[in-house]
Structure 1
Amino acid sequence: MSGPLVLDAATMTRLMGPAAVTDVLAEALRAGVDPDAGPARTAVPVPAGELLLMPAAFGPFAGVKVAGVAPANPARGLPRITGSYLLLDGADLQPLALLDGAALTELRTPAVSALAVRHLAPDDRPLRLVLFGSGPQAYGHLEAVLAAREVAEVVVVARHPVGGRALAGYARTLGVLARTGTPDEVAGADLVVCCTTARAPLFDGTLVAPGATVVAVGSHEPAARETDTALVVRSEVYVEARSAALREAGDLLVPLAEGAIGAEHVAGDLADLVTGRRRPSAGRPRFFKSVGMAWEDLVVATALYRAAGRP
């Protein structure tokens, strides 16, 4: 009997593009996956950073991602996020496939954001996108947003100028007008995407226009956030799952601790948007906060396994 299928990063990228990954997440939510039902992420501090354990089961499959977060790695020329994903047969838990865990994260996180963008961002005009960050997630989010919406201009705001210029240059190779800019340019944005390692707000939330959409994906720690309390208070807030957001999303937990909002301030989750149970209101910013969840990894890993020709 042959061993598990091995899918490296290059193969995964070849098998499925951003739009296809976004579609499979939407299909899973329509099929009844319950994001609130899964186990919480386990985080274990280690000398190099943190180990994350993320198990899930849905339909005929189960799986677990073991991810490493090593903050010192980029200075060594190594990826900050490492790991592997083990896909299992749901009936007998026999291993079916081993996937590059970092590549899986780089595929599914932008796709989750793109799914929110499909439902929250305007679709009646090309969008002006302000993108915070210049790492792998910033590149992935650029591609995923371009697959979800027509974009008129991309403004890259990055801590490292060289990285920001490189990302803007890459955006231009995709046929988009792009340049670097400053945080206060969120005032003219239709869509703001934050995918950084920042632990404090990146911009003044009072500048975001009513009707604009803000997506924040950079942290899953209760004390870290990319957006400020002013934005959260002004916004109609959506999350992947209320349980995960109220456990890990500093962007929401800090305003909660300040007494600026209550838990009921969360208007809905991805399933509400995808199934049509909830539609965004007019006249307020829309804010989507994700922390990354195990069901997403399982759904995307399953789709990649099937795209590779396995049943």
Structure 2
Amino acid sequence: MTDRIPLIDSDQIRRLLSPREAVQAIVDALQEGLDPAADPARTAVSTAHGQLLLMPAEGRDHAGVKVVTVAPDNPARGQPRIQGLYLLFDAATLRPIALLDGMALTTLRTPAVSVAATLPFLLRSHDPLRIAVFGMGPQGRAHVDTVTNALAGHRGIAHVTYLARRPLRPDDPLNDIDQGQGDTPPVALATSGSVEAARAVAQADLIVCATTAREPLFDSATIQNHAVVIAVGSHEPDAREVDGALTTRAYVIVEDVATAMREAGDVIQALDEGHLNAADLIPMRQIVADSAVSLAAGRPVLFKSTGMSWEDLVVATAVYQRFNG
């Protein structure tokens, strides 16, 4: 191998593919027949200071693998908790053709999957969307950006409330966030458990959970019947962001049923507690690709994502095609 492999960095990824285009790439892949159930399982290897995660996938024209590290103590060192790279191959020759910034790719693809799975429900109303976000990191903010970009021209954003599980550090960039200047929707900050946080959850049309929580973040009895809840914070059986009662009340959409029953603590624990039956789980492919599937209004919608390898490959391929011109 003599050709130099290009590195597509985080800035290039953001320039090459918009959030709306990433959503469309996910939708197109599912509508063209991609079956998430065929995805290889994630491999996790424990290390002295965290985990190594390997996420391979194969498509028609490309194959790829994401290598991710999870170092729980890194935030205290001023370093990211999660880091990684994505290696893209030509499917026919298995020749490596590109290396992508893994975290920028994940930050783009995770909310793209969330929005692709829930878009029909977010578009049921034209009223400006009220959003509550648990999680002060990149994924919480990326979900707001993706929803805003994907719904542009169809539904505006009334306001966004970020809900921190602990008071913000003085140097946290969210302390200086634009508080609704110009075209930016009003933004509020609140601490979980406060009166302001409870009000934001009760009024929200969309609730995003993007945290490392091990226990439910809010009481689902307080949310509106039309609310959409997106939970993306964990792929571990013993971690959850929503309570079991929500899975009884809501339509529960997952990327893949077998994967959710293996990795999604929000699903696994609800099943164990008797709140949910496996037969009630709805694969997102049915929502995105099957026009005959229609869920009646009047119940919340929960989308639980653990992150799957096919999603990285779809978005990495779209980025590479733009890069390669």
Is the shorter-chain TM-score for this pair beyond 0.5, marking a shared fold?
yes
Alignment-mate amino acid for residue 284 of structure 2: L
- Listed as ranges, the matches of 1:269-284 within 5 Å are 269-275=283-289, 276-284=291-299
Equivalent pairs: percent with the same residue? 46
- Partner deviation per Cα, 1:228-279 (whole Å, 9 max, x = no partner): 011111101111111211111101100111122210121x222111122422
Q: 2:220 aligns with which of 205, 208, 219?
A: 205
State the 1:188 CA deviation.
1.0
Q: 1:155 aligns with which of 156, 161, 175?
A: 161
Tell me, in whole angstroms, the C-alpha distance in 2 between the residues paired with 1:283 and 1:123.
13
Equivalent in the alignment of 1:143 = 145
State the 1:18 CA deviation.
0.7
- For residue 161 of structure 1, give the secondary structure of its aligned residue in structure 2: coil
State the 1:2 CA deviation.
2.3
Equivalent in the alignment of 1:20 = 21
Tell me, in whole angstroms, the C-alpha distance in 2 between the residues paired with 1:247 and 1:202.
22
1:219 is aligned to 2:234? yes
Tell me, in whole angstroms, the C-alpha distance in 2 between the residues paired with 1:132 and 1:65.
26
1:191 is aligned to 2:206? yes
- Partner deviation per Cα, 1:48-67 (whole Å, 9 max, x = no partner): 21111100001111000111
User: Does the Cα contact within 8 Å between 1:139 and 1:167 map onto a contact in 2?
Assistant: no
1:166 is aligned to 2:166? no
State the 1:5 CA deviation.
1.7
User: Does the Cα contact within 8 Å between 2:252 and 2:302 map onto a contact in 1?
Assistant: yes
Summarize the Cα distance change of 1:249–1:277 in structure 2 as closer, same or farther, 3 Å threshold.
Answer: farther
User: Does the Cα contact within 8 Å between 2:75 and 2:81 map onto a contact in 1?
Assistant: yes
Equivalent in the alignment of 2:304 = 289
Q: 2:259 aligns with which of 220, 225, 244?
A: 244
State the 1:288 CA deviation.
0.5
Summarize the Cα distance change of 1:171–1:50 in structure 2 as closer, same or farther, 3 Å threshold.
Answer: farther
Tell me, in whole angstroms, the C-alpha distance in 2 between the residues paired with 1:117 and 1:234.
17
Tell me, in whole angstroms, the C-alpha distance in 2 between the residues paired with 1:187 and 1:165.
26
State the 1:168 CA deviation.
7.8
User: Does the Cα contact within 8 Å between 1:214 and 1:287 map onto a contact in 2?
Assistant: yes
- For residue 162 of structure 1, give the secondary structure of its aligned residue in structure 2: coil
User: Does the Cα contact within 8 Å between 2:178 and 2:184 map onto a contact in 1?
Assistant: no
Tell me, in whole angstroms, the C-alpha distance in 2 between the residues paired with 1:216 and 1:170.
25
**Greater Cα shift, 1-10 or 88-97:** 1-10
1:178 is aligned to 2:187? yes
Q: 1:234 aligns with which of 249, 252, 266?
A: 249
Alignment-mate amino acid for residue 217 of structure 2: L
Alignment-mate amino acid for residue 162 of structure 1: L
**Greater Cα shift, 300-309 or 179-188:** 179-188
Q: What TM-score do the two structures reach when normalised by structure 1?
A: 0.95
State the 1:115 CA deviation.
1.4
State the 1:117 CA deviation.
3.1
- For residue 88 of structure 2, give the secondary structure of its aligned residue in structure 1: strand
Equivalent in the alignment of 1:71 = 72
- For residue 260 of structure 2, give the secondary structure of its aligned residue in structure 1: helix
- Listed as ranges, the matches of 1:80-159 within 5 Å are 80-121=81-122, 122-149=124-151, 150-159=156-165
**Greater Cα shift, 162-171 or 8-17:** 162-171
Q: What TM-score do the two structures reach when normalised by structure 2?
A: 0.91
**Greater Cα shift, 89-98 or 176-185:** 176-185
1:56 is aligned to 2:62? no
Tell me, in whole angstroms, the C-alpha distance in 1 between the residues paired with 2:150 and 2:46.
36
Summarize the Cα distance change of 1:6–1:159 in structure 2 as closer, same or farther, 3 Å threshold.
Answer: same
Structure 2 unaligned runs (5+)? 191-195
- For residue 177 of structure 2, give the secondary structure of its aligned residue in structure 1: helix
Summarize the Cα distance change of 1:277–1:53 in structure 2 as closer, same or farther, 3 Å threshold.
Answer: farther
Tell me, in whole angstroms, the C-alpha distance in 1 between the residues paired with 2:92 and 2:103.
26
Tell me, in whole angstroms, the C-alpha distance in 1 between the residues paired with 2:62 and 2:303.
28
Equivalent in the alignment of 2:268 = 253
Tell me, in whole angstroms, the C-alpha distance in 2 between the residues paired with 1:288 and 1:270.
9
Tell me, in whole angstroms, the C-alpha distance in 2 between the residues paired with 1:282 and 1:180.
30
- Partner deviation per Cα, 1:60-89 (whole Å, 9 max, x = no partner): 110001111111111111111111111001
Tell me, in whole angstroms, the C-alpha distance in 2 between the residues paired with 1:11 and 1:17.
11
Structure 1 unaligned runs (5+)? none
Tell me, in whole angstroms, the C-alpha distance in 1 between the residues paired with 2:173 and 2:12.
28
User: Does the Cα contact within 8 Å between 2:204 and 2:224 map onto a contact in 1?
Assistant: yes
